[in-house]
Amino acid sequence: QLVESGGGLVQPGGSLTLSCSASGIIFSAYAMGWYRQAPGKQRELVASITRGGSTNYEDSVKGRFTISRDNAKNTVYLQMNSLKPEDTAVYYCNADSLRGITYWGQGTQVTVSS
């Protein structure tokens, strides 16, 4: 089970940190990712982190977002800075075993608006 938290309403230029807590899986064995889906758009990968800690980012968030993981706490984070209205979306946490098993969280809404 994946449970996201930390979403909310923030002004442009502001910051938010999303958290995703995992249970029932061997967290350290999973690659983790944050996806987002804006109204009328397809779900897209925002950032990912491998089991070894290597990270990858979608171009539009590079330099603004940081993904990290704490295997001791079974948690993955997404630090989001310099938020823009176009970052508004439902953000989903994903766990991928890379062996055909994936899990999704329920999503958390992020709204960037003045």
pLDDT tens digits for range 8-52:
999 999 999 999 999 999 999 999 999 999 999 999 999 999 999
Both tokens of residue 53? Answer: 């800690």
pLDDT for residue 1: 93
> pLDDT tier at 100 (50, 70, 90 boundaries)?
confident
Compute how many other C-beta atoms are within 10 angstroms of the C-beta atom of residue 25. 15
Question: Coil, strand, or helix at residue 58?
Answer: coil
Confidence label for 67 from pLDDT (cuts 50, 70 and 90): very high
Assigned token pair, 98: 């890379």
Q: What is the mean pLDDT of residues 55-62?
A: 97
